[in-house]
Amino acid sequence: LRSDAQHRVSKDGRRTNVSGATIYIVACADGSYYTGITRRDPDERVSEHNQGLDPNAYTYSRRPVRLVFSSFFDRIDEAIAT
């Protein structure tokens, strides 16, 4: 697991990216991988995947998922271009 995201803690105790975005990759239970982007804490985003909030989401039927990579970028366009 690699993570170099920079975070701040909000008043409600949640961690959020100061700016920019984090690219993340999760390994799914069926052996496939899913790549996502978030402006929030990647661990929080992975938790949402595992909660199964959206039945139409790729990861919904492939839970549980686990974070295998994340990398923070100062600008969201840099994250997408990588």
The three-class DSSP label of residue 37 is strand
Mean per-residue pLDDT of the chain? 86
pLDDT digits (tens, 9 = 90+) for 36-71: 999 999 999 999 999 999 999 999 999 999 999 999
* Whole-number Å distance between alpha carbons of 68 and 51: 18
The Cα–Cα gap between 54 and 34 comes to 15
Half-sphere exposure of 6 (CA within 13 A, CB side): 6
Q: How many helices (H) and strands (E) does the chain have?
A: 2, 5
pTM of the model as a whole:
0.76
At 16 the pLDDT is 55
